[in-house]
Chain A
Amino acid sequence: MTRPGPLPSAARAIVKGDRRALARAITAIENGDPAADPVLRALYPRTRGVPVVGIAGPLGVGKSSLINALVAKLRTEGRTVAVVAVDPSSPFSGGSVLGDRIRFERSADDTGVFFRSMASRGAAGGLAAATLEATRLLDAAGFDVVLVETVGSGQVDVAIREVATTRVVVVVPHLGDEVQTLKAGLFEIADVFCVNKVDLPGADLARRDLDDLVALGSWPGGWTPVVVGTSTAPPSGLDDLWAAVEAHERHLDASGGRAADERRRLSGEIVGLVRDRVGRDLIDRLERDPELRRLLDRVVARSLDPRAAADRLLASSRRSR
């Protein structure tokens, strides 16, 4: 139940600007710690639906550098900003080196910024399972804008659709041509195309190619992606980039797209939560089921195949529910 009333102390601390409470709550979400539950529930009604801007695109195109530049710009304008930067977890060790913070250059005493690195922990789609709920806490904590950096695999950073209100897809000149971008599915998620590193040769060509692709496409939501060129050093085009993001945010309000998108995202989230819970319960039950061992013996002995074993296990777990 989402009901008004006294906030749990961690939620109260977060709303009051306690950054450590915020950091700890994000950890709790990441770890599947039940302590996150009351905080998320209490703070949901306090979220305002601030712009969540996704910065997606292949490895090394300058996503973190752009975020650093955007943070600097937004801070000059007096807006507060939170960043969630996702990097991949090793499928072997489960460990991760989270390096996006290297590009982050804010002075340590600027309390209007919050930067959190996050490991993907095996989630598909270029984000972590905890990213969405983390952005929600950041919204409730009062930040004016949330920036989310995807893993940067390029091929599959599609989860940003479920988290961001505006998606920026970053590419660079000579990335291995724009056809690659199309194939990767990034084209379907972009509200803004950002050709970064325009200081390098080939930038004009890359922009023209993207312009052509945009002109050829059909855009059901009534929004045609904007193509901008940027470089972070020397800085250029950053105002254009942010103007494009704001134009898209305005479009969302004017077209009713914001509400429609939100409904779509929330529906996906709720279904996802149910699936997680049902899946976990089922897996727990199956792993404890003595029948699993018996079936496994038969599969090993080749007297049953894995699909038939799965059928039987599912059937028996439905009966025993």
Chain B
Amino acid sequence: MGVTTRPRRTSPIRVLIAKPGLDGHDRGAKVVARALRDAGMEVIYTGLRQSPEEIVRAALEEDVDLIGLSILSGAHMALFPRVLALLKRQRAASVPVFAGGIIPDEDAKRLKRAGIRAIFGPGTSLGEIVSTAEKLARSRA
């Protein structure tokens, strides 16, 4: 079709970056999306105020290898486990979920026990987020 010869086989990591909850800031999520793109990933960015149902649906339609959730509003203890439960219900619990935002240590521990694979606080370097994301995506294959 196009002018280019279709490459034989390439499978870039596809990652959904979603922003559940009601807070209106997605600067952090956008910065992470950009860093993941610069690391060669295809980042599906869904925008603000996504419900857990919308997030899981998007993840399945987009067939992502990985989901990143970003939150500042403090509703993480309600929303993150809901995302995990919906994934499980869709038999997609193998899709790793990581999270970033302002999440107290105590909550972080509980969320990790619930199945969130990695949690990044405000000070985390982009390099660390990228390498963890790559590791998580690869762990799935």
Listed in ascending order, the chain A residues whose CB lies under 8 Å from chain B are 19-20, 23-24, 26-27, 31-33, 89-90, 93-99, 101-102, 108-109, 114-117, 119, 121-125, 127, 129, 132, 159, 162, 268-269, 272, 275-276, 279-280, 283
The one of A32, A108, A122 in contact with B51, judged by C-beta atoms closer than 8 angstroms, is: A108
B76 within 8 A of A: no
CB pair A101–B40 under 8 Å, yes or no, is no
B89 nearest CB across to chain A (Å) = 13
Q: How far is the CB of B93 from chain A (nearest CB, A)?
A: 13
Alpha-carbon distance A124/B9, docked complex (angstroms): 18
Is B39 among interface residues, defined by CB-CB distance under 8 A? yes
Given contacts A89-B42, A124-B2, A129-B4, 10 further A-B contacts (CB under 8 A): A20-B92, A27-B14, A32-B8, A32-B10, A96-B41, A97-B34, A121-B7, A123-B4, A125-B1, A272-B2
Contact check: which of A24, A98, A276 meets B42 at CB < 8 Å?
A98
Q: Which residues of B contact A162 (CB under 8 A)?
A: 1
* A and B contact pairs by CB, cutoff 8 A, 11 listed: A20-B63, A24-B63, A31-B10, A31-B11, A95-B42, A119-B42, A124-B4, A129-B6, A132-B1, A159-B2, A269-B1
Task: Check if B40 sits within 8 Å of A93, measured CB to CB.
Answer: yes
**Which chain B residues border A20 with CB–CB below 8 Å?**
60, 63, 90, 92
Would you call A122 and B45 a contact (CB within 8 A)? Answer: no
* Chain B interfacial positions (CB closer than 8 Å to A): 1-12, 14, 33-34, 36-47, 51, 53-54, 56-58, 60-63, 90, 92
| Option from B3, B10, B56, B92 in Cβ contact (under 8 Å) with A124 | B3
Contacts of A89 in B (CB 8 A): 42
- Distance in Å from the Cβ of A63 to the closest Cβ of chain B? 16
Q: Which 3 A-B pairs have the closest CB atoms?
A: A108-B53, A102-B47, A95-B37
